[in-house]
A and B are shown apart, each in its own frame.
Chain A
Amino acid sequence: MRSTALTESVEEATPALRTDLATRLRRQSVWFGIIGLAIVTLLFSEVLSGLSLYTYNNVLLACLGAIALTVLMGTGGQASIGNSAFLAIGGFSAVYVDRSGLPIALSIIAGTAAAGIAGMIVALPAVRIRGFYLALCTVALFFVVVYVVQTYQHNTVGDSGFFVPSLFASKGAHGAQQYWAWLLFAILSLCILFARRLMSGVFGRSLRMVRSSEKAAAVLGVNVPKLKVTVFGITSAMIGLQGALTLYFIGSLSSDSFTLALAIQYLAMVVVGGADSILGAVIGAALIVSMPTWIPSIVTDIAGSNIGRNDGPFISEMLYGGLLVVFVLASPTGLAGLLRKSYNKIVNLFLRPDGPVKVPANVDPDTSA
């Protein structure tokens, strides 16, 4: 009896939801996002100077890692501070393949695959342990990986690091950045669609269930170990892809650039932008990657003199560390959550024919899509 009543009430509720314009718009939000990104890319690649476009491309690259981390940590609840380890694996695997004379596409694929496999290995302890124990595993991985790549670099080319001909070098400095902007836009769009696919549907719901309660998820038929290994593999592969692309974007690679602070940066992107949200990851990446470019000028303006130029990186490190603390304590949904709240408010004011509707707090339009 009760189940029939429930079915009826769901059927009653569904048409109302379907006709809700705001909800329909929300469900397609990923396409609006990609169109928006295309417009921004078009604008920036035409208007911006070489250096600013270089920063924009760095943001696009960082978006890959941030989105991967948001799927892993925000949706799946699997803590990881291993971003810089997977970046290093991606970059150094690519350089290894590149040096044996294979085409660029192959080395990028190799970097992606190697990071994915490493991710699955890290996930093995995740089958048994959770929370920051898992985060400690990724720290352990980080130190081991840094040692391996340092040794490899030291034994092959010395401490200055690897140099590869950067892609699109024939198009001139500015032209190369334009080509990169469009290439990265294309790759990022595919990754966004892919991440969107992961975060919705059965896979996304299973991930969120594992995040809330592993035991409940197992009871409801989710193969928790398999899911963890899968999600670690996929997201690490995405970070590895970023690492391999960064190699050809910058044209050089050194083990010194992979630090624990870098991994904390990615954590800050996800937390500040808003976990479990692609938009949040993009906002976080844009904010934190661009920080070192605009912080020094602001600091110089305030403090006068030349202080800002030398200390800019440290001041931005302080700033993203502080933001990470503030957001993790005060605003678990991050900037994306704030945006969503204001969007819902505006929609309630203008789009509903029957006036403002109070949305029950426990209904998340994202997860019901």
Chain B
Amino acid sequence: MGLFLACVISGILQGGTFALVSLALVLVFRSTGTFNVAGGEVMIIPILAVAMWQKAGLAGWLGVIIALTLGALLSLGLFFIVLRHTIGGDHMIGFVATLGVAAVMDAVISLWFGSNRYDLKIPGVPRGTIRFLGIGVSEADIAVGVVAYGVCITMLLVMQYTGLGIRIRATGQMAALASQRGINVRSIYYGCWALAGALGAFAGLSYAATNIVDSNTVVLGLAALPAIILGGLDSFTGAVVGGLIIGLFQAFLTTYIGGQYVTPGTYTILFLVLMVWPSGLFGSRIVERL
């Protein structure tokens, strides 16, 4: 029972990171129709940079602010330089372009950070352990999980109920009509990409709070793919629920079957979902006809 509970808790917490990454990717997909394969790179570059600068004396909350800003700027730059030109075209063009960007960014990461491993220090993360229903859970995990899901739920509420959320969804559905109704489509595009970059960096922070990071952490962006597809590519709720499910799945796989099966198991899920149920849990069916 203790083991089962530990699985559930660690799965939920791990799922928080996936949910944040997925949310970032769904946000840009909903607004500009781009599937950003370079999401993992946008997430990890700010984290590694801040971790490196921490070694050089950067301290405190400034690091967190710099990471979020850097993520937003990186994402914004990516949109401004490359993906701005793919709007309205075939989704495939944007997809291939982000693959090229991912290659460039991977090379930058290798050149800049090499194979150094960093332990990012985030202020305010508690370092204790509490007993919960008979098992020990680290306070850091709980704090990170609460904040991650807090951000996710805030995002969902903003998207669903505020004027901003409605404007973003309207822009994504039909930019021409949205702009005729007085929505500044361009600023929505830029805003969404910047927000997605910041969300990505935040996901990176939530991972780095309890893990060692290095240039290989970039696969976390790809690990969010199954979560996004399972939840439904164009659904914000789907991104969070998909992240949660994949997190739980990986935790149970690790504990009961073996850690080496995590990657093949997760991608088998991706393959099966694509084969039998491409629109996912919450996605709209129209996505199938892309």
Instruction: Tell me, yes or no, whether A binds B.
Output: yes
Residues of A within 8 A of B (CB): 79, 81, 124-125, 128-133, 135-137, 139-141, 143-144, 147-148, 151, 260-261, 264, 267-268, 271, 311, 314-315, 317-318, 320-325, 328-329
**Interface residue B222 (Cβ < 8 Å from any Cβ of A):** yes
Q: Is the CB of B103 within 8 A of A129?
A: no
Selected contact of B111 from candidates A141, A311, A322, A324, CB within 8 Å: A311
Provide the bound-state CA to CA distance between A314 and B93, in Å: 24
Q: Is the CB of A329 within 8 A of B95?
A: no
Contact string against A for B residues 271-285, beta-carbon threshold 8 Å, 1 for contact and 0 otherwise: 100110010000000
Minimum C-beta distance from B6 to chain A (A): 25
A215: nearest chain-B partner, CB-CB: B289
Selecting from B126-134, B146-154, B161-169, B262-270, the interface stretch reads: B262-270
Provide the bound-state CA to CA distance between A324 and B290, in Å: 22
A318: nearest chain-B partner, CB-CB: B107
Provide the bound-state CA to CA distance between A93 and B101, in Å: 33
Minimum C-beta distance from B223 to chain A (A): 10
Q: Is the CB of A131 within 8 A of B91?
A: yes
Q: How many A-B residue pairs have CB under 8 A?
A: 127
Selected contact of A321 from candidates B93, B103, B290, CB within 8 Å: B103
**Interface residue B104 (Cβ < 8 Å from any Cβ of A):** yes
Chain A residues touching B, majority SS: helix
Q: Is the CB of B82 within 8 A of A325?
A: yes
Q: Is the CB of B108 within 8 A of A328?
A: no
Chain B residues touching A, majority SS: helix
Provide the bound-state CA to CA distance between A318 and B263, in Å: 27
Q: Is the CB of B274 within 8 A of A317?
A: no
Q: Is the CB of B96 within 8 A of A267?
A: yes
**Cβ–Cβ < 8 Å partners of A79 in chain B:** 92, 95-96
Given A140-B267, A143-B263, decide whether A324 and B86 contact each other with a Cβ distance below 8 A.
Answer: no
Q: Is the CB of A135 within 8 A of B278?
A: no
Q: Is the CB of A133 within 8 A of B111?
A: no
**Cβ–Cβ < 8 Å partners of B139 in chain A:** none
Q: Is the CB of A136 within 8 A of B225?
A: yes
Selected contact of B103 from candidates A124, A136, A144, A264, CB within 8 Å: A264
Given A144-B271, A321-B107, decide whether A264 and B99 contact each other with a Cβ distance below 8 A.
Answer: yes
Q: Is the CB of A125 within 8 A of B96?
A: no
Given A79-B92, A268-B100, decide whether A129 and B288 contact each other with a Cβ distance below 8 A.
Answer: yes
**Interface residue B106 (Cβ < 8 Å from any Cβ of A):** yes
Selected contact of B82 from candidates A131, A315, A329, CB within 8 Å: A329
Provide the bound-state CA to CA distance between A113 and B101, in Å: 34
**Interface residue B102 (Cβ < 8 Å from any Cβ of A):** yes
Provide the bound-state CA to CA distance between A259 and B225, in Å: 17
Q: Is the CB of B271 within 8 A of A325?
A: no
**Cβ–Cβ < 8 Å partners of B108 in chain A:** 318
20 contacts between A and B (CB under 8 A): A79-B96, A125-B275, A125-B278, A128-B288, A130-B290, A131-B95, A132-B91, A132-B95, A132-B290, A136-B274, A139-B225, A140-B267, A143-B264, A151-B260, A260-B222, A315-B107, A317-B104, A317-B107, A320-B100, A324-B96
